[in-house]
Amino acid sequence: MLEVEIKIRVDIEDTINKLVAIGFARGTTVYEYDTYYNGLVDLKAADKALRIREHRDVDTGVTKYVLNYKGPKIDDVTMTREETQFTVPTFRHGEIVLNGLGYEAAGCVEKTRIHYKKDDLTCCLDSVTDLGDFLEVEIMADDTGYEAAVSKIEDLLKALGLSMEDTIRHSYLSMLE
């Protein structure tokens, strides 16, 4: 599956009001701490990402750890890429596997994320430590649904008074470097 995604700087409160006005429902608020890895294969140079994410639900306190691989971006407009992920019992379990394969921690990103959902669109309002506030819009699609997914994202941005021209194609990690 492809994760069709865009990222754009926003004012969070203004964006929340606009999302609610067009029918988006608030979901969970989570704290995420991402540790990115690099090693035998230079993932950054290959436009790929490998990370372990600590994902804690702010309301319940439930924490899970997710090992995630992202392939290279497939276009010059969005941040669309193939993505695969699975949970690991603890951060240390994931770290042991990655270290054993020759990968070492290369950087970290810390954020608080508020989820909003409508149909197959997920909006994530991120407050990223040392970077500021962003909106990420995500939709999962197979290869045949890619263009329709991008069109849905463009329509949403227009409804929010935003534009694809203002989107950012850099990861939070690369923006922090």
Digit-coded pLDDT (tens) for 56-113:
999 999 999 999 999 999 999 999 999 999 999 999 999 999 999 999 999 999 999 9
Residue 143 is predicted with a pLDDT of 82
* Residue 122 and residue 140 in contact, taking contact as beta carbons nearer than 8 Å: no
- The whole-angstrom separation of Cα 123 and Cα 17 is 13
Residue 1 has pLDDT above 90, yes or no: no
Global pTM?
0.94
Rounded CA separation 164/62 (Å): 35
Residue type, 106: A
* Count of CB atoms situated within 10 Å of the CB of 2: 19
* Largest interatomic CA distance in the chain: 49
CATH 1.10.150.120 fits domain 2-176: no
Cβ-contact 139, 131 below 8 angstroms:
no
Q: Coil, strand, or helix at residue 120?
A: coil
Q: Cα-Cα-Cα-Cα dihedral of 8, 16, 117, 29, to 10°?
A: 90
